[in-house]
Structure 1
Amino acid sequence: MSNIEFPPLKNDLILRVLKGEKVERAPVWCMRQAGRYLPEFRKIRAEQDFFKVCRTPELAAEVTIQPIRRYAGLLDASIIFSDILVIPQAMGMEVLMVPGKGPHFPDPIVTPADIDKLTDSDPDYSADQELKYVYDALTLTRNLLDGAVPLFGFAGSPWTLMAYMIEGGGSKTLAKAKTFLWRHPKASHELLTRITNVAITYLKGQIRAGAQMLQLFDSWAGELSPADYLVFSYPYLKRIAEEVNLAYPSIPLLVFPKGVHQSIIELYATDTKYSAISLDWTTDPRLVISSISEKMERIGKPLILQGNLDPTLLFADVDVIDKRTEDMCHSFSGANHIANLGHGMMPDHDPEHLKAFLQAVHKHSRK
């Protein structure tokens, strides 16, 4: 844990849930809750490059706190404003955020020889030094939050980051990244191992800087078959949880393996050091709970699930949001629940509709 002295925490609801405690209602936060749907965020972005905001602690802290300020008393967690692609940047790759297109790597990995260009193998390389700006943003944000809510740190999964590094940006098929897996399995595992090493250092550094919880985002998990996922993603995420937990056993870790088969969810729940699993909107929580709750009881580990309202429901009328949120809350009966969307906020969401979702969770999840 951090040795820095921070203001006392006023709302520990999500931390109590992550310990397996029974609580008065489900805590709620939203992935990408600090982002382009907020006019106050767009005002900053109109004047600043995306990664400049990430790299400037004062700006990153301000953007992180914007939703906490706007939805005072409704959000139970904050998440540091950053991006999963800061790890490829820290390994020496150039990443641009192109308006209207998203992330772009001008010089992606094409062959195994390109892996040798990465800087993490240099004798004097320090991931902590490369990512110090994130640590500084976390420390500043913890202080500015003044204990209002706990603060998440996060990182991308090795497989998801590797896919970006090879595809050169977003992709509908991940054909380049998956072809690389089949043609160069040895090089693939080398790259995944190196990303994993940096991620472990990075996550430990976030804890020292003030992160009170961590989430791993495996955004492209569902692009691999269950069998391939168990080879190219799951082992690395399992190792990350084990090593971070060994160093900081009191810090909860959550994982979001978007689109995975239910058998993978069971593995994360029963065979890893992750405290909670986040579900996307295509997964029925009732099926997950009915299939693994008995096994969780036998091993003495609480079943803690996060999610999973379809983000597009925030485009619906407020009364529809209220009803569907009620249905979602009831679907998690039988597990400790952290309410969230099944993926992140979208740029054209109405901030008032997010408010309606948060209010509905407060109303419908009370025990």
Structure 2
Amino acid sequence: MSSADFPKMKNDLLLRAARGEKTEHAPVWVMRQAGRYLPEFREVRKSHEFFEVCRTPALAAEVTWQPIRRYAGLLDASIIFSDILVVPQAMGMEVLMNPGPSFPDPLNTPADIEKLRKVVDVNKELGYVFDAITLTRKGLEGACPLIGFCGAPWTLFAYMVEGGGSKTLQKAKTWIFQYPEESKALIMRIADVCVDFLVGQVKAGAQLLQVFDSWAGELAPHDFDEFSFPSLQHIASKTRKRLSEADIPLVPITLFAKGANYALIKLSEETEYDVLGLDWCIDPVEARRLVGPNKALQGNMDPNVLYGGRDAIERTVKKMCEAFRVGGGGWIANLGHGITPAVDPEDLRWFLECVHKYSAQ
């Protein structure tokens, strides 16, 4: 769909900041903002299984709208309700959510790669995400931009091999060390599906894309360079190329490589991402010094500060805003990882209000 088919934008702060432009205040949203901390989301989940919500456009749109309605005028972006593991599902793997993700039949050896679909038709396998994006974008009525996303290939590969979450990533690391060439081939195969998926999301109405490399920090720097970085580079460049070839306006792309602060210079200089997301383990002043003023940054309050009370939230947001103002460049306010389920929604409201207050000074 073309932008002319959607309601006119009333708030484009996020898009301007992603392009490095100065904004009235820092646009703010939070990762996992449509999720379990909201009672209205929990109400939906009482009668609908997690992936049922993902696969039902009307339900996915409803839970994406929920935080926008609750925090009217405070959130500058929405992010489509989905999950990074829809890509392994599209490739032919079963994924359950109970409550965390689990793969009943993970990839144990390279021979298991044969179980994956040789060709993935994202329109067939993930068309429900595209339908949800179009429906959500229309329903937002221009209140704020809509973000589409995917998981990064290394992170998805790790889930597919581990069979779920892991504290050590022992199986995934065994693969990359014991079967390096097979691992790299599979990671790039995942990357191509991600490109198709991201392009499809833009066609459906997504106005900014984000790639989540949630387990980037589990790799040593040289292993990140070998097993994650090439696929991240490929996604940004290939997605841009595909959109240009289809005469579709480019949208900003954000990379959130959690824990990979050692790679900020490389990611800034050698990839085509517009925005680099930061976790809370790096000072924004240092991040800006590393990447320079021409790359937008996103982040980076520790999500657990939201449990510390209003004084702690305000104090931390004030420091964060002061730090991000040093050195110039675009900045999108966010947490340094996803909001966690036990957060009081009113404490998140206070976080958003504090960002508006202190980032405008």
Within the candidate set 111, 128, 133, 2:128 is matched to: 133
- Cα shift at 1:292: 3.4
User: RMSD of the alignment, in Å?
Assistant: 1.2
1:299 is aligned to none
State the Cα distance separating 1:250 from its structure 2 match.
2.4
Q: Distance in 2 between matches of 1:209 and 1:347?
A: 29
Provide the rounded CA distance (Å) in 2 between the counterparts of 1:58 and 1:70: 18
Matched to 2:224, the amino acid is Y
The answer to whether the aligner puts 1:292 opposite 2:287 as a matched pair is: no
Structure 2 partner of 1:188: 183
- Aligned residue number for residue 172 of structure 1: 167
Would you say the 8 A contact 2:20–2:331 is kept in 1? no
Write the distance in 2 (CA, Å) between the matches of 1:330 and 1:250. Answer: 31
Q: Are 1:318 and 2:313 matched, yes or no?
A: no
After TM superposition, give the deviation of residue 19 of structure 1 in Å.
1.5
Contact 2:261 2:278 in 1 (8 A): no
Aligned pairs for 1:303-314 within 5 A: 303-314=295-306
The 5 Å alignment of 1:100-179 reads: 102-119=100-117, 121-122=118-119, 125-179=120-174
Is 1:4–1:209's contact at 8 Å kept on the other side of the alignment? no
User: d(CA) in 2 for partners of 1:79 and 1:228?
Assistant: 30
Identical aligned residues as a percent: 56
TM-superposed deviation, 1:288: 1.6
Distance in 2 between residues matched to 1:110 and 1:247, nearest whole Å: 33
Is 2:195 the counterpart of 1:200?
A: yes
- Say whether the 8 Å CA contact 2:264–2:291 is kept in structure 1: no
Q: Deviations over 1:28-73 (max 9, x none)?
A: 0000000000000000001110000000000000000000000000
Determine which of 335, 345, 360 is the counterpart of 1:341: 335
Unmatched 5+ stretches in structure 2: 244-248
- In structure 1, distance between residues paired with 2:251 and 2:187: 24
Q: Given the alignment of the two structures, is residue 363 of structure 1 paired with residue 357 of structure 2, yes or no?
A: yes
* Contact 1:4 1:210 (C-alpha < 8 Å) held by counterparts: no
In structure 1, C-alpha distance between the alignment counterparts of 2:252 and 2:140, rounded to whole Å? 20
Kept after mapping to 2: 8 A contact 1:2/1:207: no
SS where residue 332 of structure 1 aligns? helix
Q: Match of 2:80? A: 80
1:38-117 to 2 correspondences below 5 Å: 38-99=38-99, 102-117=100-115
Q: Distance in 2 between matches of 1:364 and 1:224?
A: 35
Which SS does the other structure have where 2:142 is aligned?
Answer: coil
- TM-score, structure 2 as length reference: 0.96
Q: 1:254 aligns to what SS in structure 2?
A: strand
Q: Secondary structure, in 3 states, of the residue corresponding to 1:344?
A: coil
Distance in 1 of aligned mates of 2:195 and 2:8: 27
Pairwise CA distance, 1:3: 6.2
User: What's the counterpart of residue 278 of structure 2?
Assistant: 279
Equivalent residue, structure 2, for 1:259: 259
Residues 1:244 and 2:239 aligned together: yes
Q: How many residues align?
A: 354
* Structure 1 position 323, deviation (Å): 1.1
Query: Which residue, out of 198, 214, 217, partners 1:219?
Result: 214
User: How much has 1:127 moved relative to structure 2?
Assistant: 2.0
SS at match of 2:94: coil
In structure 1, what residue type is equivalent to 2:333?
A: A
Contact 2:318–2:358, Cα closer than 8 Å, also in 1 = yes
C-alpha distance in 2, partners of 1:24/1:250?
Answer: 24
Give the equivalent residue in structure 1 for 2:246.
Answer: none
Moved more, 184-193 or 128-137: 184-193
Residue 94 of structure 1 deviates from its aligned partner by 0.2
CA distance in 1, matches of 2:357, 2:320: 12
Three-state SS of the structure 1 residue aligned to 2:254 is: strand
Where does residue 20 of structure 1 map in the other structure? Answer: 20
Q: Which ranges of structure 1 fall in alignment gaps of 5 or more residues?
A: 297-301
> Counterpart of 1:265 in structure 2: which amino acid?
L
Q: Distance in 1 between matches of 2:43 and 2:358?
A: 34
One-letter amino acid matched to 1:165:
M
Greater CA drift, 190-199 or 152-161: 190-199
SS at match of 2:5: coil
Counterpart code for 1:272: T
**Aligned-residue offset at 1:183:** 0.8
Shift of 1:4: 6.5
Kept after mapping to 2: 8 A contact 1:79/1:152 = yes
